[in-house]
């Protein structure tokens, strides 16, 4: 059993986030198994993953000393090359233009060359991150799939992380916009209102009924241009479900090009042969900050944009499509 007294540096964050950072080498399946077995307690009481830690809390994780030794290690980040496309940085946050093909977090096959490790290595070299396992670990405030490029926000401290995560989840004061290339000719604009259900074992997401446990999911979109066979689309998330854009555009019969899970596989093969393109054509284009509270209020009314990568721009040109950005929703 490991006992930890929560200090000011570690307070005000979800218990599962803290345990993931403390047992930083443990697989996610191990972390959530510990919670399911009720092997995480605060002040002598079993807690759920969503419990918000308070300064002075006594956290007990019922794992063996051998497991602590195996999973609680300073990250070996000193020699990681941090070739980051930084869109914005201040003392509280970083906004990165993530390239396709890199994970935000590690999985069972890749734990070292991740965007998070690159960010931590960058801040370690700047002297802004100690990497001693005791303080806050700079971390992403939301997620992007491996093969989705574009804007992602990292927080440098607990308070900024909490503010950003809450706002990004609500989709009101921070708006997220995407560019995507889809199969076929879409309507000029539309709203996709289709609840989504995730199979936790397979990771596959489908449209389902709220009665069956699906969660509300809404997407707005506008067609930018089309050549009849393909359409370039501008989309805004009103909710933030796993694989939301990928499943929603499959649902309206305009799947995203290159999507190897929800796409038109025959068209993907044709597209790959012509353009040598093996990713999903999905890019997190813009973050629009409205009324930002607390220590981050200086970000209010700011916008951050990441242009399409060169490869995607070349494809758009070859398809005789034009990028004429419409007004926001």
* Coil, helix or strand at residue 181: strand
> Based on the domain organization, do 278 and 156 belong to the same domain?
no
> Based on the domain organization, do 155 and 223 belong to the same domain?
no
- The full length of the chain comes to 329
Asked if 27 and 108 count as a contact pair (C-beta separation under 8 A), the reply is yes
pLDDT by residue (tens digit) across 172-191?
999 999 999 999 999 999 99
Distance CA 267, CA 194 (A): 24
> Based on the domain organization, do 211 and 91 belong to the same domain?
no
Last residue of a domain, one of 134, 163, 192: 163
Would you give the distance in Å from CA 67 to the centre of its chain?
A: 28
> Based on the domain organization, do 314 and 280 belong to the same domain?
yes
Query: Would residue 65 show up in a list of annotated catalytic residues for this protein?
Result: no
Distance CA 5, CA 7 (A): 6
Token digits for 239? 């909710």
Closest residue by Cα to residue 33 from 71, 7, 3, 6:
71
pLDDT for 227: 96
Token digits for 127? 């002297």
DSSP state of 99: P
> Chain-wide mean pLDDT for the chain?
91
Q: Is 38 exposed, middle or buried (0-12, 13-18, 19+ CB in 10 A)?
A: exposed
Which of the residues 57, 90, 132, 145 is marked catalytic?
145
39 domain residue, yes or no = yes
> Based on the domain organization, do 42 and 97 belong to the same domain?
no
> Based on the domain organization, do 263 and 310 belong to the same domain?
yes
pLDDT by residue (tens digit) across 65-111?
888 888 877 667 777 887 899 999 999 999 999 999 998 876 544 45
Last residue of a domain, one of 71, 94, 128: 71
pLDDT for 133: 65
The 10 Å Cβ neighbour count of residue 135 is 15
113 domain residue, yes or no = yes
Last residue of a domain, one of 71, 98, 128: 71
Residue ranges of the chain with per-residue pLDDT less than 50: 108-110
Question: Which residues are bridge partners to 289 per DSSP?
Answer: 174
CATH of the domain at 59: 3.10.290.10
> Based on the domain organization, do 270 and 211 belong to the same domain?
yes
pLDDT for 208: 96
> Based on the domain organization, do 197 and 281 belong to the same domain?
yes
Which strands form 40-42's sheet, in the order they lie side by side?
Answer: 2-5, 58-61, 40-42, 45-46
* Residue 99 domain boundaries: 86-163
305 domain residue, yes or no = yes
326 domain residue, yes or no = no
Strands 149-155 and 93-98: antiparallel
pTM over 0.85: no
User: For residue 121, what are the CA distances in angstroms to 92, 97, 202, 313?
Assistant: 16, 17, 32, 30
CATH of the domain at 199: 3.30.2350.10
């Amino acid at each position: 059993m490991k006992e930890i007294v929560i200090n000011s540096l570690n307070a005000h964050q979800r218990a599962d986030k803290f345990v993931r950072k403390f047992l930083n080498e443990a697989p996610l399946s191990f972390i959530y198994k510990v919670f399911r077995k009720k092997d995480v307690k605060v002040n002598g009481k079993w807690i759920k993953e969503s419990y918000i830690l308070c300064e002075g809390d006594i956290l007990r994780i019922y794992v063996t000393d051998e497991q602590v030794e195996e999973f609680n290690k300073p990250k070996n980040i000193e020699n990681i090359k941090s070739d980051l496309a930084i869109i914005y940085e201040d003392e509280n946050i970083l906004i990165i233009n993530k390239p396709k093909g890199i994970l935000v977090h590690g999985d069972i096959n890749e734990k070292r060359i991740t965007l998070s490790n690159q960010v931590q290595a960058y801040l370690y070299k700047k002297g802004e991150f100690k990497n001693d396992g005791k303080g806050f670990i700079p971390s992403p405030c939301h997620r992007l799939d491996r093969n989705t490029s574009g804007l992602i926000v990292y927080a440098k401290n607990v308070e900024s992380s909490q503010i950003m995560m809450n706002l990004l989840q609500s989709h009101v004061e921070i708006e997220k916009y995407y560019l995507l290339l889809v199969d076929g000719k879409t309507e000029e604009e539309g709203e996709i209102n289709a609840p989504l259900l995730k199979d936790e074992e397979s990771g596959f997401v489908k449209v389902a009924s709220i009665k069956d446990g699906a969660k509300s999911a809404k997407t707005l979109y506008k067609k930018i241009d089309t050549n009849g066979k393909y359409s370039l689309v501008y989309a805004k998330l009103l909710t933030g479900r796993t694989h939301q854009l990928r499943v929603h555009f499959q649902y309206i019969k305009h799947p995203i090009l290159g999507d190897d899970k929800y796409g038109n596989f025959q068209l993907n093969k044709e597209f790959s042969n012509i353009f040598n393109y093996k990713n999903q054509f999905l890019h997190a284009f813009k973050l629009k900050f409205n009324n930002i509270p607390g220590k981050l209020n200086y970000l209010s009314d700011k916008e951050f944009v990441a242009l399409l990568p060169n490869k995607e721009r070349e494809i758009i040109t070859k398809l005789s499509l034009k990028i004429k950005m419409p007004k926001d929703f």
